[in-house]
């Protein structure tokens, strides 16, 4: 049973036309097959707590916006509220599973709250079971995970609770992929995994800047580097920058944790991963402005993609948000198209990132199109901000015919065939690729 306080969200999960509140490939099929059989959605939080043996706490843990640790530390307000509600409601012993991404030793705080508020003869066991699902492939990741990580206290009751959760996963996950570790190791492992994945992206993006300056090709460099079995090819694709709900939040959390533990050098190391990501977005914006004759004031720019990655409608920390903000500051006229992001979400994101602008002011510079072709109509430049497959399959000859000339394309996702677009007539700028040095030119 999935419970939420938001009635509208639960209504969407229960909708007869399966208009689910989030987009994820394969998710609708799963809900269609299981809803009403062994999958239920409800706002009856207390009833679900009473009935459950295992309770997964899967609430949001955003970065704090004010107070101590603002901009770095995780806001655990929702975790604490959920924990207190479990303690207040439960009348029998429960296994409480920490599913949200949280700072190391959060489980200790949860256990303190539960024990201080528990009823007689009611015991709570705390487990850490971080999720490693990637948006866009979440259903496949759940059904066939690389590993399932379960952390517990190394006491008899802790190990007993751990085994209970292992038995749940063992219904479809081979036992050798279920890793059992200490509680604190499990909490830190989630932060470490996301930090190291983001580190790889920032590393290849840093190299993309060198490629653009030297005439090297980042695709070729990444392919060559990825052939080293010690490195491997994954997460070596240059882009305009990483986004999503986890990477930046978890790295900043790690920075705050390091500094709290009096490890400033460690914090500075991880902070640089985020700083490189922001630099990549600024650098991309500069490249667009420079190519368009040093100014984009009053010029129409089409932004294709607003989600932080393909196959999701999630816009959290999306590079497109930052790009639009920068283009607005340069007084450009922007048209956005994304096949999955709701228009209301786009307006909400732009209002939040540009608090000095009212929504009315934003709409003077920004519009939202219902198709990629419409977005590109009369534009002077097209920016690929999300790697949706439909953008690679666009009728680019029609796009070219309906654009102002010279027509520019800026590929921030290494998605398009640069040679083909150049042949059509576009002036193409691809991230991680500089101008080729003519043969015979000696440096």
Tens of pLDDT, residue by residue, the chain (443 residues): 999 999 999 999 999 999 999 999 999 999 999 999 999 999 999 999 999 999 999 999 999 999 999 999 999 999 999 999 999 999 999 999 999 988 888 999 999 999 999 999 999 999 999 999 999 999 999 999 999 999 999 999 999 999 999 999 999 999 999 999 999 999 999 999 999 999 999 999 999 999 999 999 999 999 999 999 999 999 999 999 999 989 999 999 999 999 999 999 999 999 999 999 999 999 999 999 999 999 999 999 999 999 999 999 999 999 999 999 999 999 999 999 999 999 999 999 999 999 999 999 999 999 999 999 999 999 999 999 999 999 999 999 999 999 999 999 999 999 999 999 999 999 999 999 986 555 554 44
Residue 121 burial (10 A CB sphere; 0-12, 13-18, 19+) = exposed
* Distance in Å from the first CA to the final CA of the chain: 67
Is the sign of the CA dihedral 136, 139, 144, 145 positive or negative?
positive
Residues whose CB falls within 8 Å of the CB of residue 51, separated by 6 or more in sequence, listed in order: 1
Work out whether strand 124-128 and strand 148-152 pair parallel, antiparallel, or are unpaired: antiparallel
Q: What pLDDT does 436 receive?
A: 56
Residues taking part in catalysis: 246
Q: How far apart are CA 236 and CA 200, in angstroms?
A: 6
How are beta strands 427-430 and 408-411 bridged, if at all? parallel
- Cα distance between residue 173 and residue 177, in whole Å: 7
H/E/C letters for each residue in 172-213?
A: CCCHHHEEEEEHHHHHHHHHHHHHHHHHHHHHHHHHHHHHHH
Sheet of 178-182, strands arranged across: 54-57, 94-98, 124-128, 148-152, 178-182
pTM of model > 0.95: no
In the chain, the largest separation of any two C-alpha atoms, in whole Å, equals 85
Q: Respond yes or no on whether the N-terminal peptide bond of residue 406 is cis (omega within 30° of 0).
A: yes
Predicted local confidence at residue 271, as pLDDT: 98
Quote the pLDDT of residue 434.
Answer: 83
- 3-state SS string over 334-364? EEEECCCCCHHHHHHHHHHHCCCCCHHHHHH
Tell me how far CA of residue 49 lies from CA of 10, 238, 298, in angstroms.
17, 45, 56
> 381-417: string of b/e by CB count within 10 Å (b at 16+)?
bbbbbbbbeebeebebeebbeebeeebbbbbbbbbbe
Neighbours of 316 (CB within 10 A): 18
Q: Do 361 and 387 touch, CB atoms closer than 8 A?
A: no
Angle, alpha carbons 40-42-47 (nearest 5°): 100
């Amino acid at each position: 049973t999935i419970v939420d306080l938001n009635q509208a969200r639960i209504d969407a999960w229960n909708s007869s036309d399966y208009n689910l509140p989030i987009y994820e490939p394969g998710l609708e099929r799963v809900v269609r097959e299981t809803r009403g059989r062994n999958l239920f959605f409800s706002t009856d939080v207390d009833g679900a707590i009473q009935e459950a043996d295992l309770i997964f706490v899967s609430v949001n843990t955003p970065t704090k916006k004010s107070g101590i640790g603002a901009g770095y530390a995780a806001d655990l307000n929702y975790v604490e509220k959920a924990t207190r509600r479990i303690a207040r409601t439960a009348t029998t012993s429960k296994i409480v599973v920490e599913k949200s991404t949280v700072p190391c030793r959060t489980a200790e705080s949860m256990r303190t709250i539960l024990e201080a508020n528990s009823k007689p003869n009611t015991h709570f066991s705390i487990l850490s079971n971080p999720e490693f699902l990637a948006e866009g492939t979440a259903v496949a990741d759940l059904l066939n995970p690389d590993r399932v990580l379960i952390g517990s206290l190394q006491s008899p009751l802790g190990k007993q609770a751990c085994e209970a959760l292992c038995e749940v996963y063992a219904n479809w996950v081979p036992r050798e992929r279920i890793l059992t570790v200490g509680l604190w190791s499990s909490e830190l492992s989630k932060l470490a995994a996301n930090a190291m994945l983001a580190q790889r992206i920032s590393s290849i993006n840093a190299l993309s800047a060198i490629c653009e300056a030297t005439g090297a090709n980042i695709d070729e460099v990444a392919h060559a580097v990825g052939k080293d079995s010690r490195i491997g090819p994954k997460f070596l694709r240059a882009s305009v920058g990483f986004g999503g709900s986890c990477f930046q939040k978890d790295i900043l959390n790690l920075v705050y944790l390091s500094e709290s533990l009096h490890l400033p050098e460690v914090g500075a190391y991880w902070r640089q991963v985020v700083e490189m990501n922001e630099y990549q977005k600024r650098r991309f914006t500069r490249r667009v402005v420079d190519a368009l004759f040093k100014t984009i004031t009053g010029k129409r720019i089409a932004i294709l993609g607003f989600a932080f990655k393909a196959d999701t409608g999630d816009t959290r920390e999306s590079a497109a948000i930052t790009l639009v903000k920068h283009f607005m500051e340069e007084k450009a006229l922007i048209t956005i198209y994304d096949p999955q992001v709701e228009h209301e979400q786009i307006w909400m994101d732009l209002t939040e990132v540009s608090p000095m602008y009212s929504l009315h002011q934003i709409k003077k510079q920004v519009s939202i199109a219902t198709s990629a072709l419409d977005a590109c109509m009369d534009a002077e430049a097209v920016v690929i901000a999300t790697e949706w497959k439909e953008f690679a399959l666009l009728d680019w000859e029609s796009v070219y015919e309906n654009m102002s000339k010279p027509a520019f394309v800026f590929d921030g996702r290494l998605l398009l065939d640069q040679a083909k677009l150049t042949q059509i007539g576009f002036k193409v700028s691809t991230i991680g690729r500089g101008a080729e040095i003519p043969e015979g030119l000696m440096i």
